[in-house]
């Protein structure tokens, strides 16, 4: 045990002086008694001094450290693919039986090792391997590997058990190559192809608008059939909306069909793509796939006013014209007396984008009320203008000079909705923008989402600022020259600027959400094997986070009704995990209360369908799995060889135990032993005093 110090700030000389004074005072109290010998005087004064000095040191709160060398077992992360495809019986792979045999071997971990079992599908969660059943509706291998390699746990290796059929997330090969620990792969499933027709993917915009035509693309795959005609139907419940004929042949495995759907009724609408064949297929469950579209009342009506000609103007209009949710009108000023107009018929706009400062003549001609319409101001150098800048701008630009700057995300607002869905990339590699480096927000309540970084020096000069004023949102993008990002050969750069601008425009055009209770399912449509998840946040009438509320939910459909209470996750967040439901449309009504007071009430809906993307492809992806193992310097083996896992020398060589020094800190004040010792010393002194009849 090693003394480390005191948790008080008393100087050493003060501690020594106090200890000496305690000894002198203790001696002095017995020195005057002539009825006891010097030996007993020393003994009794020592007992008192010891008790008082011990109390004094406990008050100073000393602490000690001990060091112990321990041997740590190698720790392994076992990632189990619990998606539905791993339970499919195919050729020699016996579905769930083969899956359970692999798990039984993995559970028999040698005593020299320690294993954590994690199940993955759409998310990664600790599981009990003794009771796991593969029924997940997605396979996200990238998320599973990322979860482990970035974990605080010191894993020495990963055992990945999967069929490699990815249905969600990124390709994990690059992540595996960057892994600092080996990933050993156990390949489930079968590589043989079977005679089958399946719906591989459906692509469509998840949001649509009434009185518009919505495009849907269905991707089909087939193997083993030649010169056969099949029907592909688009349906809503039992109503046939469209049907196409397709002739399949052995030379082509992938087919793409486009459908057009007229949206008429608002709300969450469910549709099915159904393949009708009279063929002897291996599996028929993958012939139907369900998708949903949230149909809104109308498109966002946007007016884009450009105060000059610039590549940024063309780039923005190209982005807006490709968004089916936007109805775009344009106004371009070429000189003080001439402008080009392209208007759609509308009484009012959801958003006006001022690309450069407009002239007073433009404002008067368009009859715009600047205080009643959401607005986005975008910098346009050298544009014609005669209107006061502060009428539009959220950002005070104290210098007319523009510099080449890089984009930097403001960490204080990095979780804002405008920044959601952007690629996770190094922004320093992007083409520079032209902006000020000496600007500031004109309103204290404005939020800066992006700031300018000049010559690798971070500035507080905002690039994008936003503001909510009552029911109106305003925003500003103080940057130009970003068309270079839009035209970049780098796909991440193009996606970043397109998504950023769409997010910024969508947020500014929408009305502020002033609901006290905000509640929404984690997605619009769930599979019948999933447990639907509903998230909520709650604030009270004063705008403060409500941590002690109770949210009750009633969920109903034609054949079902149930009441639930959401779990309080603290910080005003609430969650409800519902047991799996039969397919159908479900509505919910949520009521938030505190005590007997009702705070708010909201409703919504979600869908449950039987189809699963896991059944679209059942062929094990050996190339992917072997590349994951090779890239991370791990081993690859098929499920039939799993018995050799724990005896594999390559795997065992990466699992070496290590010794670690564990430090333990001891604080005497936290132990009753020392206080009992003080009492014992004082009791011994008291007995001695009674022996000599001292007062």
Residue in the structure block whose two tokens are 């109308």 = 298
Assign domain 517-609 to its CATH superfamily: Macroglobulin (MG2) domain (2.60.40.1930)
Angle at 450 between CA 444 and CA 454, to 5 degrees: 110
Angle between helix 12-31 and helix 38-60 axes, rounded to 10 deg: 150
User: Among 527, 425, 535, which Cα is nearest to 485's?
Assistant: 425
β-strands 457-469, 472-477 pairing: antiparallel
- Could you list the beta-strand ranges (E) of 472-629: 472-477, 517-521, 525-527, 533-538, 550-557, 560-565, 567-570, 573-577, 584-594, 597-609
Q: Which of 78-92, 198-212, 452-466, 538-552 has the lowest mean pLDDT?
A: 198-212
Domain pair 196-296 / 300-509, same fold:
no
Question: In 3-state terms, what secondary structure has residue 235?
Answer: strand
Nearest residue to 516 via CA among 591, 569, 416, 578: 591
Strand extents, DSSP E, 359-446:
375-378, 395-397, 403-409, 433-435, 439-441
Backbone angles phi, psi at 516, to 5 degrees: -75, -40
- At a CB cut-off of 8 Å and minimum separation 6, what does 377 contact? 353, 354, 392, 393, 394, 474, 475, 476, 477
Measured N-to-C along each axis, helices 491-509 and 311-321 cross at an angle, to the nearest 10 degrees, of: 70
The answer to whether 463 and 418 are in contact (CB under 8 A) is no
Residue that is written with structure tokens 């205080």 in the block:
371
Q: Percent of the chain beyond pLDDT 90?
A: 37
First to last CA, the chain: 41
Check: CATH 2.60.40.10 for 196-296?
Answer: yes
Mean pLDDT of 188-216: 85
Percent of the chain at pLDDT above 70? 96
pLDDT per residue over 224-251, tens digit each?
Answer: 888 888 999 999 888 899 999 999 888 8
- Whole-number Å distance between alpha carbons of 553 and 178: 45
- Contact status, residue 379 vs residue 477, Cβ threshold 8 Å: yes
Distances (CA, A) of 317 to 93, 115, 262, 323: 54, 55, 25, 10
Q: Are strands 254-263 and 212-223 parallel, antiparallel or unpaired?
A: antiparallel
| Degrees to nearest 5, angle at CA 688 with 682 and 690 | 105
Helix (H) or strand (E) holding 364: helix 360-366
Q: Quote the CA–CA distance of 42 and 39 in Å, as a whole number.
A: 5
Best-predicted range by mean pLDDT among 191-205, 373-387, 570-584, 588-602?
588-602
Lowest mean pLDDT among 52-56, 83-87, 248-252, 345-349: 345-349
420: Cα separation from own chain's centroid: 10
pLDDT exceeds cutoff 80 at 565 = yes
Measured between alpha carbons, how far is 199 from 231 in angstroms, rounded to an integer?
12
pLDDT given for residue 498 in this prediction: 94
- C-alpha distance from residue 277 to each of 227, 284, 601, 617 (Å): 13, 9, 47, 18
Mean pLDDT of 639-645: 90
Mean pLDDT, rounded, for 288-314: 87
Query: Of the given ranges (5-14, 219-228, 321-330, 668-677), which has the lowest mean pLDDT?
Result: 5-14
For 624-632, what is the mean pLDDT?
93
Strands (E), 129-192: 157-162, 183-187
DSSP state of 402: -
Structure tokens at 55: 């109390």
- CATH superfamily, with its number, for domain 74-192+619-652: von Willebrand factor, type A domain (3.40.50.410)
Give pLDDT tens digits for 334-392: 887 788 888 876 668 889 999 988 877 888 888 777 777 889 999 988 754 444 455 66
Q: What is the pLDDT of residue 386?
A: 41
Residue 511 to residues 226, 298, 508, 515, 630: CA-CA distances in angstroms? Answer: 54, 14, 8, 11, 51
- The CA-based diameter of the chain, rounded to the nearest angstrom, is 125
The answer to whether the pTM exceeds 0.95 is: no
CATH number of 300-509: 3.40.50.880
Mean pLDDT, range 169-183, rounded to an integer: 91
**DSSP 3-state assignment of 649?**
helix
Token readout for 566 is 């959401």
Q: What is the pLDDT at residue 647?
A: 87
Containing H/E element for 316? helix 311-321
Across the beta sheet with 533-538, the strand order is 517-521, 533-538, 573-577, 567-570
Is the C-alpha dihedral spanning 402, 407, 413, 417 positive or negative?
A: positive
Most trustworthy range by pLDDT among 65-74, 111-120, 204-213: 111-120
Pairing of strands 517-521, 533-538: antiparallel
pLDDT level of residue 545 (50, 70, 90 thresholds): confident
CB atoms within 10 A of CB 167: 22
- In sequence order, the β-bridge partners of residue 585 are 607
Tokens 């392209």 sit on residue: 342
CA distance 1 to 104: 45
pLDDT value at residue 388: 44
Q: Which of 329, 311, 307 is nearest to 320 (CA)?
A: 329
Can you name the residues that pair with 352 across neighbouring β-strands?
Answer: 303, 375
480 to 463, 474, 496: CA distances (angstroms): 10, 19, 15
What Cα–Cα distance (Å) separates residue 138 from each residue in 82, 124, 168, 398, 483?
Answer: 9, 11, 6, 52, 37
- In the chain, domain spans: 2-68+666-691, 74-192+619-652, 196-296, 300-509, 517-609
pLDDT in tens, 462-496: 999 999 887 789 999 999 999 999 999 999 999 99
**Residue 474 is encoded by which pair of tokens?**
């305003």
Bridging pattern class, strands 157-162 and 183-187: parallel
- The half-sphere exposure of 62 on its side-chain side, counting CA atoms within 13 A, is 17
């Amino acid at each position: 045990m090693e003394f480390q110090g005191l948790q008080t700030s008393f100087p050493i000389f003060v501690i020594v002086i106090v200890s000496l004074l305690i000894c002198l005072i203790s001696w002095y109290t017995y020195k005057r008694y002539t009825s006891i010998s010097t030996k007993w005087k020393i003994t009794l004064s020592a007992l008192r001094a010891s008790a008082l000095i011990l109390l004094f040191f406990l008050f100073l709160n000393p602490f000690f450290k001990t060091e112990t060398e321990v041997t740590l077992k190698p720790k392994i992360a076992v990632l189990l693919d619990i998606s539905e495809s791993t339970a499919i019986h195919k050729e020699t792979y016996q579905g769930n039986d083969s899956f359970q045999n692999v798990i039984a071997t993995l559970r028999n971990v040698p005593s020299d090792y320690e294993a954590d079992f994690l199940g993955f599908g759409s998310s990664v969660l600790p599981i009990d391997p003794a009771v796991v059943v593969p029924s997940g509706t997605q396979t996200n291998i990238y998320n599973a590997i990322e979860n482990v390699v970035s974990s605080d746990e010191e894993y020495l290796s990963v055992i990945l058990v999967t069929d490699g059929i990815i249905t969600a997330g990124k390709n994990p090969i690059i992540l595996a190559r960057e892994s600092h620990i080996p990933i050993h792969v156990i390949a489930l499933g079968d590589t043989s192809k079977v005679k089958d027709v399946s719906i591989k993917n459906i692509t469509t915009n998840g949001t649509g608008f009434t009185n518009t035509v919505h495009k849907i693309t269905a991707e089909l795959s087939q193997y083993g059939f030649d010169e056969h005609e099949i029907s592909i139907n688009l349906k809503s419940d039992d109503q046939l909306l469209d049907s196409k004929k397709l002739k399949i042949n052995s030379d082509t495995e992938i087919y793409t069909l486009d459908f057009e759907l007229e949206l008429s009724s608002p709300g969450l609408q469910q549709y099915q793509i159904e393949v009708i064949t009279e063929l002897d297929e291996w599996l028929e469950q993958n012939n139907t796939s369900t998708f949903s579209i949230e149909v809104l009342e109308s498109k966002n009506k946007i007016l884009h006013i450009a105060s000059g000609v610039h590549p940024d103007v063309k780039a923005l209009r190209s982005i807006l014209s490709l968004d089916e949710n936007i109805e775009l009108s344009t106004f371009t000023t070429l000189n003080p007396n001439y402008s080009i107009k392209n208007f759609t018929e509308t009484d009012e706009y959801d958003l006006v984008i001022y690309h450069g400062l407009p002239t007073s003549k433009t404002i008067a001609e368009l009859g715009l009320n600047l205080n009643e319409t959401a607005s986005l101001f975008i910098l346009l150098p050298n544009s014609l203008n005669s209107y006061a800048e502060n009428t539009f701008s959220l950002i005070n630009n104290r210098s007319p000079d523009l510099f080449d700057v890089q984009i930097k995300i403001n960490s204080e607002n990095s979780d804002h909705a405008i920044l959601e869905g952007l690629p996770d990339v190094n922004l320093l590699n992007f083409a520079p923008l032209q902006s000020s480096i000496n600007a500031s927000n004109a309103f204290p309540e404005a939020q800066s989402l992006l700031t300018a970084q000049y010559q690798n020096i971070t500035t507080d000069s905002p690039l994008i600022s936003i503001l909510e004023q009552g029911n109106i949102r305003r925003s500003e993008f103080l940057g130009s020259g970003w068309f270079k990002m839009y035209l970049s050969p780098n796909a991440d750069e193009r996606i970043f600027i397109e998504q950023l601008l769409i997010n910024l425009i969508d947020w500014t055009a929408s009305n502020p959400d002033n609901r006290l209770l905000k509640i929404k399912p984690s997605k619009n449509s769930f599979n019948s094997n999933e447990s639907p998840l509903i998230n909520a946040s709650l604030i009270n009438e004063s705008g403060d986070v409500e941590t002690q509320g109770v949210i009750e939910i009633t969920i109903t459909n034609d054949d079902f009704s149930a009441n639930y209470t959401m779990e309080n996750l603290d910080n005003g967040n609430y969650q409800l995990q519902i047991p799996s439901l039969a397919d159908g449309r479900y509505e919910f009504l949520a009521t938030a209360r505190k005590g007997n007071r009702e705070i708010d009430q909201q409703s919504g809906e979600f869908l449950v369908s039987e189809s699963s993307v896991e059944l679209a492809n059942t062929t094990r992806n050996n190339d992917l799995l072997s590349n994951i193992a090779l890239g991370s310097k791990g081993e690859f083996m098929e499920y039939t060889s799993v018995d050799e896992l724990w005896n594999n020398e390559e795997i065992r060589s990466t699992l070496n135990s290590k010794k670690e020094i564990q430090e333990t800190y001891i604080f005497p004040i936290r132990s009753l032993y020392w206080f009992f010792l003080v009492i014992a010393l004082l009791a011994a002194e008291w007995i001695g005093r009674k022996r000599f009849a001292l007062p």
